[in-house]
Structure 1
């Protein structure tokens, strides 16, 4: 039998999909069995397990990035913390792609860490063991792909047979195990009536009484009805529910497949043209006519999305809701009514206003601020000094001289202490000299502070005169000369940090209420620099 060197050893446990299926059939818990095997293996080699890395049962084994315990293990291995790692089979370490397998292999190789299994001890420095280990990982990956294809094929067959193959039931249903193989759905006693209520309110025969998705979300939240995840209803949640054909007795698979990106994480892809859909075994909650009407209403109210990255709102990213802090967005109403600036948050009661009214208020506010800003700096400096650079240089020299004087005074203060300890100064002389130096130090520090304030004020005045004021004047002049929303947005963002909007009372048809909102403007002010720039 192979003799293991003296050192520190750990074990790694991970359940595979096959293990989970076996446990579902009533077999022994995999972790309990594997832990017993590895403890017996450690006893046979005469070693002690100092730590056991145990993945959560639901953790996927395909990617290292999805296994927290494996990440910790690899970090410890790379730090040469372990002499060897015990595992029931090398396949438990990596079943991912070639990149992940290479990460695992190199971590053990460069740290000279052994891999101990009941069948074999792998020494990464031994070429034969290294080749055998890499071959084992390759075969593991091949087996994993075979199992995945088999499972996907089984799901497709299940959908065609009318079974529900998802792990989480849709809102309004609960999963029920079929007598033979697979699962189906049955109406949830509390959620099913909510689904029917949503469809009935959305497709009311009287178009005037129909509720849109935003109103439905607010109504359900006000009623205290939780979603399937015990969260609040949103427009996206309502839209997904209204589009789901499961409520008319259909089942499908592959409409939004999970796709792995370069970072290794899975994300849903956009709905694809082809997927598997069939009549399900479960009872429908909605009749097909109502479902078809819901799809028609959604299509009629659908807004065609703009191309990615294109700006259609000149105020995009500038106006924020003063009540909830979220961004205000542009809501077009076609040719019926002017576009409006609204807060899209479900529970926010901030009343919307016409876009052109908010835009006009923002520009007038910016113009009024510019007038006040000009007056502010004109009052501080009636006539701009043409020798700004010379004045700045004089301030710098004065500040340099004051700091040098402060350093000398503090040195003298230390020297006074030394002379007192050497008994050169009497206590009376020491007190007199100390008080005199303390006053000089305090006066010098005040002079430094005053000079710095004057320099900062001079810097702001120069920046206002040479940068801020001309820039704002340019924005106000150029804004109305272009029809491109993106250019308008860029102009405003060059001089405006943000603005907050607040309107507590509605009354779109009341001329007096149209302008009754508060808009607080936050212009961009010049940032402090080491020295001013001149034009």
Structure 2
């Protein structure tokens, strides 16, 4: 249903569906090229001009708005009243997610009075009939999406029960091969499978003195035999753990081992218990026998330990100290009969550990020295700095006024283009060219204005922060030694420090080198 559309600003929104991607995979025309042609033909018939295209990246999920960056940008512009109408090949392209997302889309268009233009119909959100028809189409799109998703999931479960491999990437040690009919399976990789066998052999060695943990195995593969990985990166503990846990190596196929769980906090993939996983005999050959695989799971279960309670901090310098040799995190190493120490978390790093209390003492001493130097610097430069800030802020404010005047002129020019198009002074092609150029200049001016305004705010904040720096540092130095709770100490240090670089290349308890380490501080001070 079409009427005369109002002269104004129109854009297009493009998103590929799963069916579009499958069609492209069969060699059909690129979906975006086809949809652009359809929408530009529609715009010419309706005598409107598309001045911007919001194009989702190929493969972007259509289920949630939060997963579609271009849709988020479009809705923001729609809510700001940027567009008179949005063109789409189908109304379902805008929203086929849950009812909450559909409501967000419907409200954004309704409250901004933005039209939705498709080849089949123009939807006016202020027209009750159009609104009802729009919401009905979104509801049907959601039902279709849920039906397709359920069929896909049922198909994957059916394939797993037939012993087929449903993953997109073969696990290390295998190659993914196409079955004669429908589906995929695995074939043993001649170069990688011996590495998998070696990992299980080292981890389950009957002799406890020869048995290796996952950290030692990763180091052995990296340093001693230089075994290649799947993506040509270094072996990690997580990679070795993943191989040991994977039942595919004893000839099984699995599904729902880490299902996608959605909550109001976002998405996660928790690791499921083995009895909750769909586990079937695979069509592929095993690399490891079942006895060895189960023995590996028993060892892993016996070596596991419960995670620390959420929010519990035992290291007062957690998240602050980095290794000066490898750049890794420096973590707490607790001892029973000796003081706790700080050590680099990277395996085989040559940075030597130190007692935590020694690091804290030297850190407080360095902060006192830095505070004295900062006080002296502030006393000599306070007047000069204040004048410099005033001059800079005034200059930035004048620049902001100039940009605001420029923006007003550009927006008036863009508004006049509609009149020229209506009077047929400009052709559609010339209108598109001019409006696109003016839109680019407006966006550049708006970005420049935002940059100038942020610099003004930053200058003011710097001035205020510098005045607060000295009392804040004095407070930390006074209070820190009196606190026992590591979490409170950590919060204090993070309020004044960005990070600390720790380096200690000479060790030895009896050599007198216990405190022979260096600390490089980066205070959280405005520059």
In structure 1, the partner of 2:505 is 504
Instruction: Answer with 1 or 2: which has the greater Rg.
Output: 1
Residue aligned with 1:163, SS: coil
Partner of 2:98: 97
Equivalent of 1:254, from 253, 256, 267?
256
Q: Which residue of 2 aligns with 1:2?
A: 2
511 and 71 in structure 1: CA distance in 2 versus 1, 3 angstrom threshold: closer
Distance 1:279 1:237 in 2: 24
Question: What are the equivalent positions in structure 2 for 1:123-138 lying under 5 Å apart?
Answer: 123-138=124-139
Residue of structure 2 in register with 1:328 after alignment? 330
Distance (whole Å) between structure 2 residues aligned to residue 363 and residue 50 of structure 1:
60
* Contact preservation (8 Å) 1:214, 1:235: yes
| Separation in structure 2 between the aligned mates of residue 8 and residue 500 of structure 1, nearest angstrom | 54
Matching residue of 1:75: 76
1:172 is matched with which residue? 173
Matches of 2:34 and 2:363, distance apart in 1 = 73
Cα 1:187–1:53 shift into 2, 3 Å: farther
Q: Deviations over 1:409-464 (max 9, x none)?
A: xxxxxxxxxxxxxxxxxxxxxxxxxxxxxxxxxxxxxxxxxxxxxxx9xx98x999
The 3 A distance-change label for structure 1 pair 36 and 493 is closer
Counterpart of 1:276 (choices 275, 278, 289) is: 278
CA displacement 1:214-233 (0-9 Å, x = unmatched)? 23333444466564344433
Give the deviation of 1:513 after TM superposition: 5.9
The answer to whether the 8 Å contact 2:173/2:196 transfers is yes
Bigger mean CA offset, 320-329 vs 121-130 = 320-329
TM-score, reference length from structure 2: 0.68
Q: What do the CA deviations read for 1:72-120 (whole angstroms, capped 9, x no partner)?
A: 3333333444333222211111011222212221222233322222222
Once structures 1 and 2 are overlaid, which stretch shifts more, 282-291 or 88-97?
282-291
Give the conservation status (yes or no) of the 8 Å contact 1:249–1:283: yes
Instruction: Give me the whole-angstrom Cα distance separating, in 2, the residues matched to 1:262 and 1:60.
Output: 18
Q: Given the two structures, how large is their TM-score scaled by the length of structure 1?
A: 0.67
Question: Which residue is 2:149 aligned to?
Answer: 148
- Return the structure number with greater relative CO, CA threshold 8 A, min gap 6: 2
- The residue aligned with 1:305 is 307
Deviation at 1:160, TM superposition (A): 1.4
- Shift of residue 511 of structure 1? 5.5
Q: CA deviation at 1:57?
A: 2.2
Instruction: For residue 161 of structure 1, report the CA deviation from its aligned partner.
Output: 1.4
Q: Distance in 1 between matches of 2:83 and 2:491?
A: 57
Distance 2:30 2:472 in 1: 72
Say which of 347, 358, 361 aligns to 1:361: 358
Question: What is aligned with 2:408?
Answer: none
Alignment map for 1:434-445 (pairs within 5 Å): none
State the shift of 1:135 in Å.
1.2
Q: Contact 2:506 / 2:513 at 8 angstroms: preserved in 1?
A: no
**CA, structure 1 residues 514+60, in 2 after alignment: closer, same or farther (shift >3 Å)?**
farther
What displacement does 1:497 show? 9.6
Residues 228-287 of structure 1 show CA distances to partners (whole Å, capped at 9, x for unaligned) of 344433222221222111121212111221122325x43213435622111112222222
Q: 2: distance between equivalents of 1:8 and 1:359? A: 63
Instruction: Check conservation: 1:498, 1:521, Cα contact below 8 A.
Output: no
Match of 2:247 among 245, 248, 254: 245
Instruction: From the superposition, tell whether residues 365 and 101 of structure 1 become closer, same or farther in structure 2 (CA, over 3 Å).
Output: closer
Instruction: Report the aligned-residue RMSD.
Output: 4.4
Q: Secondary structure at the match of 1:518?
A: coil
2:234 is the alignment partner of 1:236: no
Change (3 A) 1:13 1:504: same
Q: How does 1:327-406 map onto structure 2 within 5 Å?
A: 327-331=329-333, 341-346=342-347, 348-352=349-353, 358-359=355-356, 361-362=358-359
8 A contact 1:318–1:498 mirrored in 2: yes
The change in CA–CA distance for 1:88 and 1:522 in structure 2 (over 3 A counts) is: closer
Tell me the secondary structure at the aligned position of residue 85 of structure 1.
strand
Match of 1:45 in 2: 46
Deviation at 1:495, TM superposition (A): 11
**SS of the residue aligned with 2:276?**
coil
Aligned-partner SS, 2:209 = helix
Structure 2 unaligned spans of 5+: 373-378, 387-465
Change in CA separation of 1:109 and 1:342 when aligned onto 2, cut-off 3 Å: same
Check conservation: 2:504, 2:518, Cα contact below 8 A.
no
1:213–1:334: structure 2 CA closer, same or farther, 3 Å change rule? farther
Q: Pick one of 284, 294, 297 that aligns with 2:296.
A: 294
Match of 2:460 in 1: none
